[in-house]
């Protein structure tokens, strides 16, 4: 666990703190943070998503249909649960449909692209099953969750504009708008590529690797700048997001996995993947659209810190439920 804290969590806190301090000292402004986020959202993140998915194998995706189906159903159920809770329970507090969509993108999605291998490999070792879980959860979060979240957010924004202008919004416009963004169509294209079975040439990856290398570091640094430019909001909305992400999602994955008798090692990996902190991509999208930035960023920051306690807790709980987990390093 110390290895995970030192090599996966502490670097995030250090880079985020660097962004926060630079923002407070005026080295970078909120406008600069948006520019960094635009680079991540339109270039680095789509490149990272595309390459990570096309490196998967079609046989890998269908080798454990139980894992794939449970990941898709449970993660998207929690995603929509977060959306509906914020849309209806906090309506009187001024939370809009677009705000609810942003919280779904943040607290309804684990940051599998940033921390998947960094957290899972020290615990379960470097093997094909870790890659399988990271690939499948990554496809669910990025090829399904992001397009759905963007569509809901755009639909909410269109609905608000319609209220002011009196015109009825086109229901297909938000979907098309979402699919036109690289962060949405890049992972979908990669999934189609894998399903068709076209081999991804090794010589093509370096062209994507250089820009994707800026993905995690720039996203976390920009999150720190964003934190420095907004009033940190530790309220029930932020705390509820932490509960939904660190407790509800891994608990549902564990329960459903036990019901359908998943293998202990795959179940443990899936539970830990579900317990990962919220997706940084949601913060980037929130900042780019000036939507629910303060609460979303606050919820993410709290979750990153608390993950250091919840990660071993969920491993311990899973061991209690399934007994010994083969290959677990801690």
Using a pLDDT cut of 70, give the percent of the chain over it.
Answer: 88
- The answer to whether position 255 is within a domain reads yes
Burial bucket for residue 235 (CB in 10 Å: 0-12, 13-18, 19+): middle
- The answer to whether position 235 is within a domain reads yes
Contact status, residue 317 vs residue 257, Cβ threshold 8 Å: no
- The answer to whether position 206 is within a domain reads yes
Signed CA dihedral, 90, 255, 307, 226: sign only: negative
- The answer to whether position 329 is within a domain reads no
- The answer to whether position 124 is within a domain reads yes
- The answer to whether position 327 is within a domain reads no
| pLDDT over 90 at 296, yes or no | no
- Inter-helix orientation angle 97-107/65-89, to 10°: 140
For residue range 122-176, list pLDDT tens digits in order.
788 766 677 778 878 888 888 888 888 988 888 887 777 667 665 665 656 656 7
- The answer to whether position 330 is within a domain reads no
Residue 284 confidence (pLDDT): 80
- The answer to whether position 154 is within a domain reads yes
Identify the DSSP state of 172.
Answer: T
Residue 62 confidence (pLDDT): 66
CATH of the domain at 89: 1.20.1530.20
- Domain containing residue 46: 2-322
Kindly report the number of other CB atoms within 10 A of residue 22's CB atom. 18
CA-nearest of 226, 316, 283, 295 to 109 is: 283
For residue range 199-224, list pLDDT tens digits in order.
888 888 888 888 877 777 887 888 78
Q: How many domains in the chain?
A: 1
């Amino acid at each position: 666990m110390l290895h995970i804290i030192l090599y996966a969590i502490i670097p995030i806190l250090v880079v985020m703190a660097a962004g926060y301090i630079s923002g407070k000292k005026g080295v970078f402004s909120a406008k600069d943070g948006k520019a960094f986020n635009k680079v991540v959202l339109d270039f680095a993140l789509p490149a990272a998503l595309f390459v990570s998915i096309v490196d998967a194998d079609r046989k890998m995706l269908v080798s454990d249909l139980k894992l794939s189906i449970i990941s898709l159903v449970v993660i998207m159920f929690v995603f929509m649960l977060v959306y509906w809770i914020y849309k209806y329970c906090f309506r009187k507090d001024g939370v809009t449909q677009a705000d609810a969509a942003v919280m779904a993108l943040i607290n309804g999605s684990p940051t599998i692209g940033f921390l998947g291998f960094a957290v899972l490999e020290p615990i379960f070792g470097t093997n094909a099953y870790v890659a399988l879980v990271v690939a499948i959860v990554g496809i669910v979060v990025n090829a399904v969750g992001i397009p759905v979240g963007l569509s809901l957010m755009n639909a909410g924004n269109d609905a608000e504009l319609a209220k002011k202008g009196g015109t009825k919004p086109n229901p297909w416009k938000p979907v098309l708008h979402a699919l036109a963004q690289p962060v949405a169509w890049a992972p979908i294209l990669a999934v189609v590529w894998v399903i068709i079975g076209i081999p991804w040439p090794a010589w093509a990856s370096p062209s994507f690797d250089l820009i994707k290398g800026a993905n995690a570091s720039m996203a976390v640094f920009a999150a720190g700048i964003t934190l420095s430019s907004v009033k940190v909001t530790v309220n029930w909305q932020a705390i509820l997001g932490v509960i939904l992400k660190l407790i509800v999602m891994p608990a549902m994955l564990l329960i459903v996995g036990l019901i359908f008798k998943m293998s202990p090692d795959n179940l443990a990996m899936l539970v830990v993947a579900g317990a990962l902190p919220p997706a940084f991509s949601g913060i980037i999208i929130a900042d780019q659209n000036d939507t629910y930035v303060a609460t979303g960023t606050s919820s993410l920051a709290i979750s990153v810190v608390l993950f250091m306690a919840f990660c071993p807790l969920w491993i311990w709980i899973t061991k209690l439920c399934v007994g010994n987990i083969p290959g677990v390093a801690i």
